[in-house]
């Protein structure tokens, strides 16, 4: 998490937000930046309310007090699937309200926000969110995350973006306009899947050891790699309560590599949707982003897997957790908020759900 000192000027406050399954990223035109886990907790009972001193808890604080709370992951549990339940909308609304009020840094006055949501979010859910957010933003624009990442990369045509998030991997062909459904593939095996696979493999291979999903995720985030291990993955775990040092190098390498075949298959399929004369350029512009792009060795393994298509360049986006939010802020800055509705970007964008 990085935050700047508030620096007020007279221009209207603009926010770029990425609302993700795992993480919400916010950047502002005043230089503010923050990552918050996309989770909202409500105290389970009156004792929990007294202990926490409030009726809603967000992000890291919610995760730290999870036993006292009913936790909602609004993007994981339903909002991005078709419709979502009332609780998902409430939780998404409250999460957005919270991160936006933090991003204000005590500055009063109007603000406008461009908000990126997972590519699979239905048009109905996007419209509902827009309606909610307009209650506390002068203007709001809700757009699919890959569209904003392409904007951030200034990759407006002839490129392929692979966004490896927690809930999904989105592979998106960038063709100079908002992606159509046929220009993207949304794959369900992403960061959360890797955590579950690692947990299952460790519990199966090491007798008596039981790890939790948050532990599996932490190990993955610290050591994830494909190909040659950059270092042995040795971690202290407990078997029947007693600590011991375990080597998880093979398990982690195998689990991380498991997402490569589907990704390369979709890249190859989407490559063929470009005109043949553009395909060479497209292969030179393949970008990995999302938290999962931090898996060490992934870009070169994906490049190797595509070697039969000729010269290939696969690169990782800097600060992948912020790419969607930075693209959102860039769009908010370039397009005056007063024109957002007139441009009708939100309504013109096609349905991109799976
Ligand atoms: N160093 C790392 N190595 C591997 N995976 C990582 C690393 N750091 C973060 N991740 C994973 O990246 C995922 C979060 O990435 P990101 O913030 O892009 O997802 P999201 O936008 O919230 O999800 P989605 O796009 O599916 O809605 C989590 O699964 C997290 O464990
Ligand atoms: Mg994402």
Q: Which ligand ends up closest to the CA of 293?
A: 1
- In the structure encoding, which two tokens stand for residue 48, read together? 């929990």
Distance CA 138, CA 307 (A): 49
Pocket test for ligand 1, best of 38, 95, 119, 191 (most atoms within 8 A of CB): 191
Domains and CATH numbers, the chain: 13-150+321-348 (3.30.420.40), 191-257 (3.30.420.40)
What is the reported pTM? 0.91
Q: Under 8 Å CB-to-CB from 239, ≥6 apart: which residues?
A: 206, 207, 208, 209
Q: What is the pLDDT of residue 294?
A: 98
CA proximity to 171, closest of 156, 196, 150 = 150
**φ/ψ of residue 86, rounded to 5:** -60, -40
Q: What is the pLDDT of residue 347?
A: 43
Distance CA 76, CA 195 (A): 15
Kindly list the protein residues whose Cβ atom lies closer than 6 A to any atom of ligand 1: 20-23, 75, 118, 163, 165-168, 190-192, 217, 220-221, 224, 290-292, 294-295, 321
Q: What is the 3-state secondary structure (H, E, C) of 128-163?
A: HHHHHHCCCCCEEEEEEHHHHHHHHHCCCEEEEEEE
Tens digits of pLDDT across the chain (354 residues): 445 555 556 788 999 999 999 999 999 999 999 999 999 999 999 998 999 999 999 999 999 999 999 998 888 755 655 445 667 677 888 999 999 999 999 888 889 999 999 888 887 888 888 888 888 888 899 888 998 999 999 988 999 999 999 999 999 999 987 778 889 999 999 999 999 999 999 999 998 998 999 999 999 999 999 999 999 999 999 998 899 999 999 999 999 999 999 999 999 999 999 999 999 999 999 999 999 999 999 999 999 999 999 999 999 999 999 999 999 999 999 988 877 776 544 444 545 433
| Gap from CA of 323 to ligand 2 centroid (Å) | 9
- In the structure encoding, which two tokens stand for residue 73, read together? 């992951």
CA proximity to 91, closest of 129, 61, 135, 34 = 129
């Amino acid at each position: 998490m990085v935050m700047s000192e508030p620096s007020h000027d007279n221009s209207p406050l603009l926010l770029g937000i990425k609302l993700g399954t795992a993480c919400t990223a916010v950047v502002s035109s005043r230089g503010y930046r923050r990552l918050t886990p996309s989770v909202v907790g409500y105290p389970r009972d009156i004792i929990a309310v007294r202990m926490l001193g409030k009726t809603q808890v967000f992000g890291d604080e919610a995760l730290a007090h999870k036993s006292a709370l009913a936790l909602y992951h609004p993007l994981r549990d339903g909002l991005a699937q078709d419709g979502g339940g009332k609780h998902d909308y409430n939780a998404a609304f409250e999460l957005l309200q919270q991160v936006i009020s933090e991003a204000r840094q005590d500055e009063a006055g109007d603000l406008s926000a461009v908000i990126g949501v997972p590519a699979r979010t239905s048009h109905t859910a996007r419209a509902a969110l827009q309606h909610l957010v307009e209650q506390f933003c002068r203007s709001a624009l809700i757009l699919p995350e890959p569209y904003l990442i392409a904007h951030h990369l200034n990759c407006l045509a002839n490129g392929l973006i692979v966004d490896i998030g927690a809930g999904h991997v989105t592979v998106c062909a960038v063709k100079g306009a908002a992606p159509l459904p046929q220009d993207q593939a949304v794959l369900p095996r992403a960061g959360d899947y890797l955590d579950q696979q690692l947990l299952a493999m460790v519990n199966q291979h090491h007798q008596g050891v039981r790890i939790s999903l948050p532990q599996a995720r932490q190990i993955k985030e610290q050591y994830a790699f494909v190909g040659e291990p950059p270092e042995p993955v040795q971690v202290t775990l407990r078997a029947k309560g007693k600590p011991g040092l375990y080597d998880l190098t093979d398990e982690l390498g195998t689990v991380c590599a498991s997402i490569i075949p589907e990704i390369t298959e979709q890249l190859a399929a989407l490559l063929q949707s470009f005109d043949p004369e553009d395909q060479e350029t497209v292969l030179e512009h393949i970008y990995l982003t999302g938290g999962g792009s931090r898996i060490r060795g992934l870009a070169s393994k994906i490049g190797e897997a595509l070697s039969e298509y000729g010269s290939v360049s696969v690169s990782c986006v800097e600060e992948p957790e912020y790419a969607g939010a930075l693209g959102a802020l860039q769009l908010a800055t370039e397009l005056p908020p007063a024109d957002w509705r007139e441009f009708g970007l939100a309504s013109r964008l096609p349905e991109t759900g799976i």
